[in-house]
Amino acid sequence: MDTERGRALRREYPELASELARFLHRHGDDDLASLVSHIRGADADGLRDLVDGLRRDRRTDPYRGRREYARRLRDVLDHGERALENGHADTVRDQLRRAVERVTDALTKMDDSSGIVGDDLAELMTLYARACTSAPPPTQRLAAWLVGMQLDGPGWPKVRLRDFAAPLGQAGLAECARLVEERRSAADPGSWTATWGIRGLREQLAELAGDVDSYVAVLAEDLRSTAQFVTIVTVLRTNGRGDEAEQWARRGLAESAHPTDTEKLRDLLVGLLLEREAADEALAVRRSAFERFPSPDLYQKLRETAELLGVWTSSLRTEALDYVRAKAHVSQVVTVLRAEGLEEEAWQAAIASPGRLPASQRLSLIGEREFDRPAEVIEPYRALIDELLAETGKTRYSQAVELLFRLRAAHERAHDEAGFTTYVEELRLRHKRRTTLIARLADL
């Protein structure tokens, strides 16, 4: 065995590597194949114990042991992955299913606000699908389990029938459809099961069936979300039915309450119009959205489409900028002006309305000129510091002191060190009762 392979073995299987060394010392290389087989089976044999450890007691504090639980789940994933690679799908398949059920239940008893365990559960579900593909379980049993996970579970993990399409086969997918329809006929129309669970499975089944009309019909049963229109348009466009896709896109845009909710749908419509060389209509779609809501994103979309069509003239640019200046919020005006290279106008607009711009945006503007034009940033820095000190708190004090260091540097570059000293003394007098702040000011 070469050195590199030996090192890899010690990293992946430290205990088994030691066993291998002892075995080879006693027997030599003749029986190496049997020991390698033993090593490969170790992950499958050890998986059961790891899965047993995924049980979560409901009496446990939901905030305790989360990190340890996540590590154990990663161990299950690693062992399961290696076991599948080593050809033990038939051995580990049911253990992976048991792990999915255990983690699903555990998430009802712990805080997973970080989403780490939930993400690993999704990965575990994918790994289980791989195991089922390599060693298919009875199709009716798998179909019943998948439908039950979607409709009777707490809402996770997400069941993706496409991942299980191969082990289910046509018979399994048909069984899923039968079970879904059975549940649909008995479900409360206003329940989560009917609104989201059953509908989600019906949409997936229609997609897997490959009948575009049936798939669109299922999607169209509930059009409260713009995402449904996006899916319908995408399906029709992908299948070469551009005219129908365009009609659905226009309908979705017309039924939407706000243009910023439909950006992806609008992009699809513009793409369809450009595909059939309807340049004027594509530009009209962009202008209409921009004029309803002159945001930086919609301004940029208008510009990009006009440039693509070769009609982004100086007059159109001036007209669009004037519209932004007149209709948009000052923070949006500043964003557009900066994107267009009009830094001086953006600065003047920010200075004229400092209280209407987020502090992060003002700091970004200050940073662009604090080295070359330091005198101009002194008052804006002071305004930000005064805003922070309008309220008490250690976090605000820390942020204010950080800005004070930057303000001092600006005063030094502007050759006005005395002005900074005077300002800090004024702060000390104004906030003399704030002992924590006064102590922080001593660092300056």
Could you report the per-residue pLDDT of 407-426, keeping only the tens digit for each? Answer: 999 999 999 999 999 999 99
Residue 188 φ/ψ region, left for φ over 0, alpha for ψ in the -120 to 50 degree band, beta for the rest: beta
DSSP 197: I
311 touches 271 (CB < 8 A): no
Sole residue written with tokens 């607009």? 349
CB-based contacts of 10: which residues, under 8 Å, 6+ apart?
Answer: 17
Could you report the per-residue pLDDT of 69-90, keeping only the tens digit for each? Answer: 999 999 999 999 999 999 999 9
Cα–Cα distance measured from residue 257 to residue 255, given in angstroms and rounded to the nearest whole number: 7
Cα–Cα distance measured from residue 421 to residue 435, given in angstroms and rounded to the nearest whole number: 19
Sole residue written with tokens 């170790």? 42
* Token couple for 254: 């017309």
Could you tell me which of 140, 149, 84, 148 has the C-alpha nearest to residue 122?
A: 149
Cα–Cα distance measured from residue 73 to residue 65, given in angstroms and rounded to the nearest whole number: 12
User: Helices (H), strands (E): how many in the chain?
Assistant: 24, 0
For residue 18, what pLDDT is reported? 53
Per-position b or e across 226-256, b if 16+ CB within 10 A of its CB? bebbbbbbbbbbeeebbebbbebbbebbeee
Cα separations in angstroms, 71 against 67, 92, 110: 6, 19, 15
Residues 439, 443, 444, CA angle at the centre, nearest 5°?
120
Amino acid at 45: D
DSSP 198: I
Count the Cβ atoms, other than its own, within 10 Å of residue 421.
Answer: 13
Could you tell me which of 320, 328, 293 has the C-alpha nearest to residue 304?
A: 320
Cα–Cα distance measured from residue 278 to residue 250, given in angstroms and rounded to the nearest whole number: 14
C-alpha gyration radius of the chain: 32
76 touches 51 (CB < 8 A): yes
* Token couple for 438: 């006064």
Could you tell me which of 265, 262, 317, 320 has the C-alpha nearest to residue 294?
A: 320
DSSP 404: H
pTM > 0.85: no
For residue 332, what pLDDT is reported? 98
Cα separations in angstroms, 153 against 99, 169, 284, 312, 348: 15, 24, 47, 54, 57
| pLDDT tens for the chain, residues 1 to 444 | 555 655 555 455 555 555 555 555 565 555 555 545 445 445 566 899 999 999 998 889 999 999 999 999 999 999 999 999 999 999 899 999 999 999 999 999 999 999 999 999 999 999 999 999 999 999 999 999 999 999 999 999 999 999 999 999 999 999 999 999 999 999 888 888 888 899 999 999 999 999 999 999 999 999 988 999 999 999 999 999 999 999 999 999 999 866 667 999 999 999 999 999 999 999 999 999 999 999 999 999 999 999 999 999 999 999 999 999 999 999 999 999 999 999 999 999 999 998 899 999 999 999 999 999 999 999 999 999 999 999 999 999 999 999 999 999 999 999 999 999 999 999 999 999 999 999 999 988
